Every structure is written in structure tokens, then in C-alpha cells.
């Protein structure tokens, strides 16, 4: 089985590889995004017998063979491990999901998540913008680490995203010991 972990792997879902939480055993995994911590990198990992099938030169990759990106990948995984960021991803994801659900905003029909991978389904098409728009059936917006957002064509989710941001902006998640994160 080939498992796509580009979006879900390397901690976003609270574990190194999200598919393992579902009891799935992968033969091949594709990794990217979180692996480089901002540095473009991709990896195709074969497990067991499947891992022995691909030999050097038998496949190509967009970001492969780059020693700088490989060093970044090693540094990222070391930091995640040393600083306990998998547990932090689980803790912050649960906190954020609870905060969004607690909003009780009429535009939000459902919140689905696996830790920091969060989807918000809108109550009806166009409700966030106050008018119906074709193809606007749910929240399809990604927010980067600095809060910048990018919307996919055909969606208009700014109002719901603004409500979530406004209502959670002053909230300080408890630190790992349950106190203020700066304490």
C-alpha cells in the first residue's frame, strides 16, 4: 500500500506518520512539507521488501539529491524529537479544536480534525460571505505559520476565518505544564 503523508506526516497530526494511528501498514510512504521545516524536500520511503525494489537511478524526484535539503530534514526531525513537538502538536491541536467548537458560530456546521490538521465545514454554501457562490460548500483555506492565508479559487471563507482568528487571538493555550506558555 502506498501512503501519501505529504500533508499529514512529520508531526502535524501528533505523530511521525498519521497513517499508523489508523492501523494501516504502508509499503511506500511519500513525505514532504513538514520534513524540511520550510526547506523544499520530498522523500519516497519504501519499507521492507518494497524498499529494496527501487534502486538508485530508477526513479526521479523534484527535490531529490540535494544535500542542503537532506541536512534540513535531519535537523527538523532532531528538533521535533528533542523538544517533544509531537506531544505539543497533540496538545495544541486539542486546545485549538475545542476553542473553534466553543465559538458556536452559526456559519460553522462541523469541525473535523486530527490534531493540527483541521477542517471546518460551513453550514451552507456562501454563508461566510453572506451570499451563495458556486462551489463554496466548506472551508478550504490554509493558514501559514505567520497567519498569512491563501484561498483556493472558488471559495470565499474569509468571514469564518476572521471569526475564528478574532475569537482565538487573545487566547493563550496552556503551556505543557498546564500554565501560561511563557511561564
Average pLDDT over residues 155-171: 58
- Kindly report, residue by residue over 11-56, the tens digit of the pLDDT: 989 999 999 988 999 999 999 989 998 898 888 888 888 888 877 7
For the entire predicted model, the pTM comes to 0.67
Listed ranges 60-64, 73-77, 90-94, 146-150; the one with the highest mean pLDDT: 73-77
Percent of the chain with pLDDT over 70: 64
Q: Examine the pLDDT at 83 and tell me if it is beyond 90.
A: yes
DSSP 8-state secondary structure symbol assigned to residue 152: P
| pLDDT tier at 64, thresholds 50, 70, 90 | low
| pLDDT tier at 84, thresholds 50, 70, 90 | very high
User: Which pLDDT score is estimated for 107?
Assistant: 81
Contact 115, 132 (CB under 8 A): no
Sequence-ordered strand ranges (E) for the chain: 2-4, 28-31, 43-46, 108-114, 117-122, 141-143, 149-151
Q: Examine the pLDDT at 127 and tell me if it is beyond 90.
A: no
Q: Examine the pLDDT at 76 and tell me if it is beyond 90.
A: yes
Classify residue 123 by burial, with Cβ atoms within 10 Å: 0-12, 13-18, 19+. middle
User: Which pLDDT score is estimated for 156?
Assistant: 41
- What is the distance between the alpha carbons of residues 136 and 127, in angstroms, rounded to a whole number? 9
Alpha-carbon radius of gyration of the chain: 19
| pLDDT tier at 163, thresholds 50, 70, 90 | low
Neighbours of 2 (CB within 10 A): 11
**Domain map of the chain by residue range?**
2-82, 87-168
User: Which pLDDT score is estimated for 129?
Assistant: 45
| pLDDT tier at 158, thresholds 50, 70, 90 | low
Q: Residue 131's closest CA among 113, 109, 158, 149?
A: 158
Amino acid at each position: 500500500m502506498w501512503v501519501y503523508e505529504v500533508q499529514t506526516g512529520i508531526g502535524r497530526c501528533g505523530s511521525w506518520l498519521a497513517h499508523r494511528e489508523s492501523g494501516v501498514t504502508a509499503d511506500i510512504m511519500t513525505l514532504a512539507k513538514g520534513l524540511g521545516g520550510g526547506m523544499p524536500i520530498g522523500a519516497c520511503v519504501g519499507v521492507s521488501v518494497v524498499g529494496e525494489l527501487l534502486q538508485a537511478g530508477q526513479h526521479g524526484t523534484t527535490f531529490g539529491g540535494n544535500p542542503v535539503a537532506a541536512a534540513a530534514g535531519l535537523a527538523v526531525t532532531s528538533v521535533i524529537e528533542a523538544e517533544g513537538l509531537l506531544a505539543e502538536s497533540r496538545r495544541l491541536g486539542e486546545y485549538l479544536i475545542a476553542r473553534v467548537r466553543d465559538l458556536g458560530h452559526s456559519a460553522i456546521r462541523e469541525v473535523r480534525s486530527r490534531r493540527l490538521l483541521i477542517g471546518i465545514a460551513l453550514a451552507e454554501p456562501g454563508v461566510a460571505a453572506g451570499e451563495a457562490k458556486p462551489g463554496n460548500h466548506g472551508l478550504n483555506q490554509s493558514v501559514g505559520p505567520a497567519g498569512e492565508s491563501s484561498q483556493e479559487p472558488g471559495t470565499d471563507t474569509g468571514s469564518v476565518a476572521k471569526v475564528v482568528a478574532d475569537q482565538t487571538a487573545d487566547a493563550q493555550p496552556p503551556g505543557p505544564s498546564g500554565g501560561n506558555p511563557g511561564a
